[in-house]
Amino acid sequence: MKKHETGFPYRHVAGYLLSIIMTVLALIIAFKTDLSFNMIMLVIGALAILQAGLQLTMFMHVNEGESGTINVINMAYSIFLAVVIVAGTIWVLTSGHAAPIN
């Protein structure tokens, strides 16, 4: 079992600062660059995913403890299921497989 730390929470401060930096970077990219709309959305989406991962590891300690590996595997599986459901729904609704309505 991990010993309880009583010192200054350097990891939490570092995680907070990195989250702020990523948010400001997303704002700069959105408002101060001449990138295309699709590229801006791609960069902001990538920064959002990185920030979510950072917050899960730094603040929620998802990979620590006895069930850390199980938590990571469960989250990866949940993300996989969400992607399959959303992509499958979009595919079915846009591919025209439905019978025509008369």
Domain shared by 32 and 74, yes or no: no
Confidence of residue 18 (pLDDT cuts 50, 70, 90): very high
Domain shared by 73 and 54, yes or no: no
pLDDT for res 59: 82
- Residue 23 domain boundaries: 1-61
pLDDT digits (tens, 9 = 90+) for 40-99: 999 999 999 999 989 888 888 777 777 777 888 888 899 999 999 999 999 988 887 666
Domain shared by 4 and 38, yes or no: yes
Mean pLDDT, residues 9-31:
93
Question: What is the pTM (predicted TM-score) of this model?
Answer: 0.67
Q: DSSP string spanning 2-56? A: PPPP-S--HHHHHHHHHHHHHHHHHHHHHHH----HHHHHHHHHHHHHHHHHHHH
